[in-house]
Every structure is written in structure tokens, then in C-alpha cells.
Chain A
Amino acid sequence: MLSTFADWASVISLGVTVVNTYLIVRIKQGIVLNLTLEPILSRLRENSENMNRHLSYYELHSDNFLKVVNVCEANIKTIRHRLGYRRGWFLRGVLRSMRKYRKDRTQPTAQEVYSSLLHVCQGVANMLEERRITG
């Protein structure tokens, strides 16, 4: 039974500690995201550039295309991990197209991966711009 002032103070201090911990974790995640979003976007752009290059002569470079897809998937999963599932919802399209590509390694499915990746790059670039504006 919480009857005394000291008991209530303990409960409130516990609540404040929990809230503070949550805020510290959120701020830390925000800082990490702010610092890493731009390098990740550069890496994704590099992936899209390589995919585009391999798509030009796809029959010759399909193995290289798959290698880029694997690297790119790791980058996409890193972003999803940092953004969380709710904010990283827009990443599901490219991951789905990558799974489809692994089952059917043809030029149209490869083109679909490249196209979805461009949408992701645009989404991340917009997010970065918003963060620059809002701080």
C-alpha cells in the first residue's frame, strides 16, 4: 500500500527515470540516424549506379548484378533497422523485388529491383532533406 509521501516519490522517480531513459535512447537513435543517413544514401546511389551499368549488358553481367543486389540488400536492412519497421515501411517494395529476383533471375525482374531501388533512394533523400530543414 502506497500511503506515505516517500513511497509516492519513489514511484514518481522510477517513472521519471524510465521516461528519461526512453528519451536518451530516442535522441541517441536520432543522432545515429542523422549521422549515418547521408553515407547510406551515397552507398545506395553507388548500388543503383552499378546495377544500371550491369543492366546495360545483363546477359554478360548477371552474376555481378546479383552481387550488387546482395550488397544493396544489406544496406537496405541497415536502414530498416535504424528507421524501425514503421518508418521503414517504404523499404518493403525493394526487398520484395529482391526476393522475386533471386527466384527468377531475368532482365525484367532485375529492372524491377533497380526501379524499386530508385524509389528507395528518393525516399531516403527526401527524409534527409526534411531532417536538414527541421534540424
Chain B
Amino acid sequence: MALTQGDFVGAVARLNDLTRRQLIKWSPCVPTPRSHAGVSAAIAVEMFKQKFSFEATYDERILRITQFESLINPLLPGSYKYTLDVRDQDGSLTFQFPDVEGISDLFRSIQTQKLDIEGFIKKLATG
């Protein structure tokens, strides 16, 4: 595979764009089981605990994003880590994205999508 880091950054930015435009719908799921986590996540779980996970199906693939919180000092910057991976139909990990820029932004966009502020305001306005 001749994928570059730039390809991954571009892919994450595109996923984020599709999420903002509601073309990908994410739903909360059970955080990634430790035994199924990839190498970098396996290292991360030593100092980080899994907090939230969201899952979405796109192009017949299951995408999962997980937020990890630092066990040492959750108030410091960088106390959250994120993993983005692709899973098969059984939920087994098949590919984990490298730790590239934009995954944390994608997670925030998913949280915004789940809050559905637009729907909430419209609901309030129409009474």
C-alpha cells in the first residue's frame, strides 16, 4: 500500500466534512474491547482509559472512533487521545488509522451531530 500520511489526513478531513453535512450518521457504541485494540491503542490503554466510542457505516465498512482519557492527569492538555479504526461485520479490528491530525476534530463534530443543536433550536422555536 502506497498510502502517505497526507492521504490519512485528507481522509480524516473528508470524514469530518461528511459528518458535518450529516452524510455519515454516527451512533454511540460500547467502547473498543482491549483485546481487539491495535498496537498503539494497546500502549495507550496502559495510561489511558476508554471513555466514549461512536460507530458509523460508510461505504460498506464500519468505522469506529474512541476517546481515551488520561488516568494520570485528566486536566492537562493532551489528556485525551483518539483512535479511528475500520472493522469488519463481526466488529473485529481490521485497520487502525495512524495518529494523525484531525481525529480529535472529527470526534467533536460527532458530538455536535449527536447534540443536534439545529433540531433542538427549531423545536424550541416552533414550540
A contacts, CB < 8 Å to B: 42, 45, 48-49, 52-53, 55-57, 111, 114-115, 118-119, 121-122, 125-126
Contact = CB atoms under 8 A, between A and B. Distances in A.
Contact of B20 (A56, A115, A119, A121): A56
B6 A122 contact: yes
A118 B105 CA distance: 10
Given A114-B13, A119-B9, A48 B108 contact: no
A119 B5 CA distance: 9
Contact of B17 (A45, A111, A126): A111
Given A49-B108, A118-B12, 11 more contacts: A52-B16, A52-B105, A53-B108, A118-B9, A118-B102, A119-B9, A119-B10, A122-B5, A122-B9, A122-B100, A126-B5
Interface residues of chain B: helix, strand, loop or mixed (majority): helix
B13 A115 contact: yes
B108 A52 contact: yes
Contacts of B108: 49, 52-53
Interface string B1-33: 000011001101110110010000000000000
Nearest to B16: A52
A56 B22 CA distance: 10
Task: Give the 7 A-B CB pairs with smallest separation, nearest first.
Answer: A115-B13, A52-B105, A121-B101, A122-B101, A118-B102, A118-B101, A56-B112
Nearest to A108: B17
B25 to A, nearest CB: 15
B10 A115 contact: yes
Contact of A48 (B5, B10, B101): B101
17 contacts: A42-B77, A48-B101, A49-B104, A49-B108, A52-B109, A53-B112, A56-B109, A56-B112, A111-B13, A114-B13, A115-B17, A118-B9, A119-B6, A119-B10, A121-B101, A122-B9, A122-B101
A65 B14 CA distance: 19
Contacts of A126: 5
Interface in B80-126: 100-102, 104-105, 108-109, 112, 117-118
